[in-house]
Structure formats: C-alpha cells, structure tokens
Amino acid sequence: MAKQVLPYKDSDQNKKEQVRQMFDTISGKYDGLNRLITFGTDTFWRKRLIRLVSSQNPESVLDIATGTGDLALAFGKTPAKEIVGLDLSPGMLEIGKKKVVSRGLQQKISMVLGDSEALEFEDQSFDAVTVAFGVRNFENLEKGLSEIHRVLKPGGILAILETSVPENKFFKWGYQLYGKYALPVLGKLFSAEGTAYSYLSESAAAFPYGGEFNNILGKIGFIGMKHEPQTFGVATIYTATK
C-alpha cells in the first residue's frame, strides 16, 4: 500500500487491533450491509471465484478473512473435503459458526480464530487459499501473502477477491463519489458505524490493484498471476499459483 489506512484515526491501537474491533462492532449487520452496498453483486463475484478454484479440484481449502463465512460455506457445496475459515474477529466468527451449524456442515467446515500474518498451519497444508475482501486489511501485506505462500502446496491456487478502482473515468468518478459520501451514510444508518464504512472506502482507494498487485504476488514467489476486473472494475479477482 502507498499509505496505511486505519479504521480509527485517533486510536493508539495498531491496524490489526483496530480492524478486529471494527469487524466485531459491525458483525451483526455485516451480511445485510454487504448485500446493500454492493447491490447484491458480491454474491456473483464470490460464485465466480468458487468456480475458478473448484476447477482445480482442491481437497483442502483455507479461506482467510472468512468473516461470517460466506465463501467457506459456498465451498461446502463443492467436493472439497476440508474447509477452514479463518478470521481475527471473534464477533464475525460467531455468526459464521452459527451458519455452519444451521447447514449441518460441522464435519466439513471449521471456523477458527487466527492471524493471517502468523498462520498456525504447517508448510504446504492446503490445495487452495482464498481471501474475499480481506487482503487490504492486512497490517503487513507482504507478510500475509508470504504466509499464504508458505501454507499452500506446490501447484496450489491462490484466489483473491478484492475491491479495485475502475479505469474508465466516468465509472471511476461515480465510484469515488459513492465511496466517499454514500457508503459512510449507509453504514451509519444501518449499523451506527459510519467510521467503519469510511475506512472500507478509503482502504479500497489506497490499495494496489491490477498489475501492481500482481507484481507484489510475483515478488512473494507466486507464478501465473492473472486478474479479472468485475462489474466495471469495482472489484477484481486475482489468481496465482505456487
């Protein structure tokens, strides 16, 4: 990142602690607000990511920054035998665990508390690692990506869904206006946490995307990097191989 964007600018906590606090605070409203602020398109982006990863027939999947578990639960419908959803927010995980139980997927999906930059898994543990709207929340981006590289098996796939900035000037202008003005208002109206949604907008704008992010993946040691902009470029799916 060109600069570090923090959820609570007046806090003495580091970014990791602030992100944990923010997501704990909005956890109860997170799913509904996601559908609202993306007009439901986030569900289509996740389905596309699932198809890309499933084409590699992974038996073990680690979903980092799993939040309330939407992506992990979607993998529950695939032939994958072991799915681990990891997040640093206990509040988000509690909701995710309830979803797993309600769908009877406890034998297939584990929801665990953990730090993406210090993964408690052995080297070469997973066939696939996914992250949806989470890498821009890493305190140290390269450290987090290096940990992902470490726990992936050789030939394993990394798939990341993350916000990006449209290249088209018209769409970029609309995207910036929406993120700067509408998103914080919606967050405050529906979750009483406008600060969190200001952060989400600001962090998205500051995050490296497209070829710049691919270059970072290459620096870490990944190969075969590809990126596919989604919905006029407001989000991008990245894939890479170890």
- Whether 226 is in a domain gets the answer yes
The pLDDT score that the predictor gives to residue 152 is 98
Provide the residue range defining the domain that includes 52.
Answer: 15-164+206-241
- Whether 189 is in a domain gets the answer no
- Whether 3 is in a domain gets the answer no
The pLDDT score that the predictor gives to residue 188 is 66
Cα 230 from chain centroid? 15
Q: What is the spatial distance between Cα 119 and Cα 110, in angstroms, rounded to a whole number? A: 15
pLDDT tens readout for residues 81-110: 999 999 999 999 999 999 999 999 999 999
CATH code of the domain containing 213: 3.40.50.150
The pLDDT score that the predictor gives to residue 236 is 96
The count of domains in the chain is: 1
Instruction: State which residues of the chain have pLDDT below 50.
Output: 1-2
- Whether 183 is in a domain gets the answer no
- Whether 173 is in a domain gets the answer no
One-letter identity of residue 187:
G
Cα 5 from chain centroid? 16
Q: Are 164 and 210 in contact (CB under 8 A)?
A: yes
The pLDDT score that the predictor gives to residue 170 is 73
- Whether 9 is in a domain gets the answer no
**71: DSSP letter:** H
- Whether 98 is in a domain gets the answer yes
- Whether 222 is in a domain gets the answer yes
Closest CA to 132 of 111, 97, 152, 159: 159
The pLDDT score that the predictor gives to residue 92 is 96
The pLDDT score that the predictor gives to residue 102 is 97
The pLDDT score that the predictor gives to residue 190 is 59
**108: DSSP letter:** T
Q: Are 187 and 170 in contact (CB under 8 A)?
A: no
